[in-house]
Amino acid sequence: MQSTLFVVPGLIALAGLMTLTGTAESATTAHSRITRKSFGKAPDGHPISLYTLTNAHGMEARITNYGGIVVSLTAPDRNGKFGDVVLGYSTIDGYIKNSPYFGALIGRYGNRIAKGHFTLDGHTYKLAVNNGPNSLHGGKKGFDKVVWQAHEVRARNGVGLALHYLSKDGEEGYPGNLSVDVLYTLTNNNELRIDYKATTDKDTVLNLTNHSYFNLAGQGNGDVLGHLMMINADKFTPIDKTSIPLGDLKPVQVTPFDFRKPTAIGARINEQDQQLKFGTGYDHNFVLNRKGTGLSLAARAYEPKTGRVLEAYTTQPGVQFYTGNFLDGTIKGKGGKVYKQRYAFCLETQHYPDSPNRPDFPTTVLKPGQTYKQTTVYKFSAR
C-alpha cells in the first residue's frame, strides 16, 4: 500500500507514475482508465472538469477540479454489485450553492481554530469566523471552493488525478505563499489513495484533509446508525460547546466514544452524554494509536446488509469522526435522494482541531525549507 513519492513540475506522483502528455481526453493502463468531460463553470467563469477514474475491476471515482471534490465513488457489495457510497450532487451548481463540504479537499486548515485567530512567531493572524465563534475548514473560501490545476497520471496499479493549487500569502488570513499538490489514485486493489504535499515561503500552519460523506448502503439509502464502526483510538479530544478541544486527551474507555471493538454507530449516539450533546452526535477528533510514521489503520466500517467494508489508513495522528448531524433533509443530492440527519459518516484524517493554539498538541507549523507530506487510503472490500 505504501509507495515512494517523487515530484514532477506542477504535481506530485507515485513512483512509477507517468504524466500524460498532450491534450488527450482519456488514458488507459492495464484496463484502468481516466476520462474527462466538462462540468460547468465556477462563479468567476473558470471552466470546471469532471474526471472519471476506473480501475481494472470496474470501480469508479468521479472527481472534479473544483475543490478537488470526490463527486461519486462506487464500491462492490458482497454480490459484486457496485453502488455509489458517497453523498454529493450530480451538477456543479449544488456544490457551489449549498454544500456541507461534500467530498471536498479541505485547507488550509481542516476542522476548527478557536475564535478565528492564532499566534505564530509573535504575530497574531486573524481568520474568517464562519462557524459560530470559530474558523472552520479554511474560512469563507477554503480549498473546497477554488479551481485546482489538474493533470491525469498513469500508475502501475491503477490511474490517478494530480491537482495543484497556489494559495497566496494572506489568503483567508493565513501567512505564506503555499504550494499544494494532491494526488488521487484509484488502485486496482479497490483503494482510493490520497497523497498530499505542500511547501511554503513563510512560517504558516497547515492541516489538509478530505471531507467525503460515506454511506456503505449507498448514498441516500437511509441512515448509517446500523453500520459497525471500529476506530483504532484509546483516546479522544473532548470539546466545549463550540466544538473546540478542551485540551486534554480523554480515554474512550467506559464512554460512548469507545469504538475499539466494532460497534453500531447508533448504539450509544443518543445517550445523555455532555460530549454527544455538544457535538449533536459524534463530531470529535480521535487520537489514533500509532507506531512509526507510515500508514496505519485508523478505522474500519462495515455495513451488514450489503457486506461493504471501508478501511481508512493514514499517516496522520488523528481522525475526525462525524455522523452527518447537521444534515436536515433540506438537501436533495444525486438521483433526487434526500439527505437526512445521520445519513452518512465522515472519517477526516487530520491533525487535532485548534492545534495552532495548543502547543501541547502535535504541531501543524510548516516552515520554509520543510515539505508537508501525508497520505490517506480508503480501501473497499466486501464480506
Q: Is 92 strand, coil or helix? A: helix
pLDDT by residue (tens digit) across 128-184? 999 999 999 999 999 999 999 999 998 889 999 999 999 999 999 999 999 999 999
- The pLDDT value recorded for residue 68 is 98
In angstroms, the CA 150 to CA 141 distance is 19
CB 158 within 8 A of CB 183: no
- pLDDT over 70 at 27, yes or no: no
Q: Is 96 strand, coil or helix? A: helix
pLDDT by residue (tens digit) across 40-78? 999 999 999 999 999 999 999 999 999 999 999 999 999
Q: Which residues are catalytic?
A: 211, 348
Kindly report which listed range (13-22, 56-65, 254-263, 281-290) carries the lowest average pLDDT score: 13-22
Residue whose C-alpha is closest to residue 160's, from 5, 52, 31: 52
- Cβ neighbors of 69 (< 8 A, separation 6 or more) are 63, 88, 95, 102, 103, 104, 105, 144
User: Would you place residue 298 in the very low, low, confident or very high pLDDT band (cuts 50, 70, 90)?
Assistant: very high
**Sign of the four-CA dihedral 301, 35, 195, 40:** negative
The amino acid sitting at 379 is K
CB 242 within 8 A of CB 134: yes
For 167-198, what is the HEC assignment? ECCCHHHCCCCEEEEEEEEEECCCEEEEEEEE
- The pLDDT value recorded for residue 347 is 98
Other CB atoms within a 10 A radius of the CB of residue 24 amount to 11
Q: Is 341 exposed, middle or buried (0-12, 13-18, 19+ CB in 10 A)?
A: middle
In angstroms, the CA 72 to CA 89 distance is 9
As assigned by CATH, the class of the 5-382 domain is mainly beta
